[in-house]
Structure 1
């Protein structure tokens, strides 16, 4: 899974041809799609309710100036003509797995407390917003976790050879962003987190998703048992597929990344096949599931801001996206962990600055 150039999504043109859906949806799941739809369909109480569903974290205030510098942007000649932004963007997208609570246990969650970032992607949108690179970071990557501020006051200690996803479980979104910026030396302009339990509700609101697996999946820990072939999954099954790792390949996170990418594509295809604008009840259920499972930075914490971002990405299509995984090798200290493969990883991050 170390190189997936030009991974094709589902169509966005009027005839919904495959391969033309905006590529950014591959990175943020359904967030921007819902925002674009809601921009023209939601009003009154429904808009207020959905807007207030979105949770946010003030990452900029928490981190201050102790982070990579913002790139210097030269205003374009068309800036005064179009109010939409056109500059490059880096967005950290996390799928969080809350493992406590009865509802989550019924969805196949573990019995440990707290939450972990089971999925992490850095989405780089090129200047002009017509091209993008999506980089998946394996959660089993060993990194140096920097000192992070805590909402309760004080800060964490620097930790060496620490699991990448421990940053989120220890210090939440703020520490996740700071750790990614420390590892990559790339400033994250925005943060988007999608809760996996809400993700299951979203799949059900869409009527399920169809996924084809190339091998049997037999994973007691995620409660997923599927024979190789094509299956129509409900929300609980789709969430189990996103979580599974022990029933495929060598049981590492690298195999799970491939399944998650396949699942996102299946979701996009389901949306492409569903005309939500002709079914207001389904539209509302989908929008409620999306916004109810969403946490963003304060720069994206409203439907209007999400819609503005989505509109600025109208020229970004699937044939202009590159999807890769951060280059990694087995960690010398632990065969069950990986570390960044150098100099390839540094060269990748440098290309996104």
Structure 2
């Protein structure tokens, strides 16, 4: 057993060394550049995760190195008191997707977090306002899926969280399924009075800071919004001077990068913390069919892509047929919560 333990330790050290090599390879650019573009699909297996958080919390810090904090993984008495009401869930959508994507969300996981979930869109839709009990926010931003317009919505979303007084800010996209009970359970592992930036990256290499801002070669990681991201109130207040009141848009336009990358930049540059990788966040960048069905109860967020060039990228979960449930979200919801009224008996 001791020999096996030594082998596992050696493998872990080699893995960390390899990640460090990835961080520091390549030259320094005078502009903020993305070393590797997002993969179209990442096959889900244990090796697909950049960092696997098990008994400790592993953080990608501002220098790109991994640091391990073993003191935060157990629930403190204060963290145990975290409830769903302490969480602000923001979902970004658009007039082009509301009719196709929102109905399945409203029928499934939204029912578990009606009072805590807000949808940020670009049109006033009376039907959806009624269905969400007034939780549709017309951001007045453009409906186009372009950098400046995505940043506009994220800025409004961030400001709404600040005004809410909640302890946690969690962002998701309108193609995400949120496992609400698991989200609460996961956030109880972290103290909201400390700066936490939780999520999962979809790139293999980190981002370089602009050369004139930090030491040559310094990098940061960002949480992909398509998989979900959670931020403690402590961190949100720490970056408020440069993010609140629409200032997020100015930084986004200056960097000329998407909203999730910009948020990662702000968190690293001004919040001085790194990304804590939580592998249970999932986006459509992964090949979701490889996610084992017996692990679904442990996941925090899931996704789908119906128009992937390789075909539909959806969960392999038993339930309704694909004509009635193309996203597999209804089948997933019944798999997790079989007593729901619409679930087959």
TM norm structure 1: 0.25
User: Which has the higher relative contact order, 1 or 2, with Cα contacts under 8 A spaced 6 or more apart?
Assistant: 1
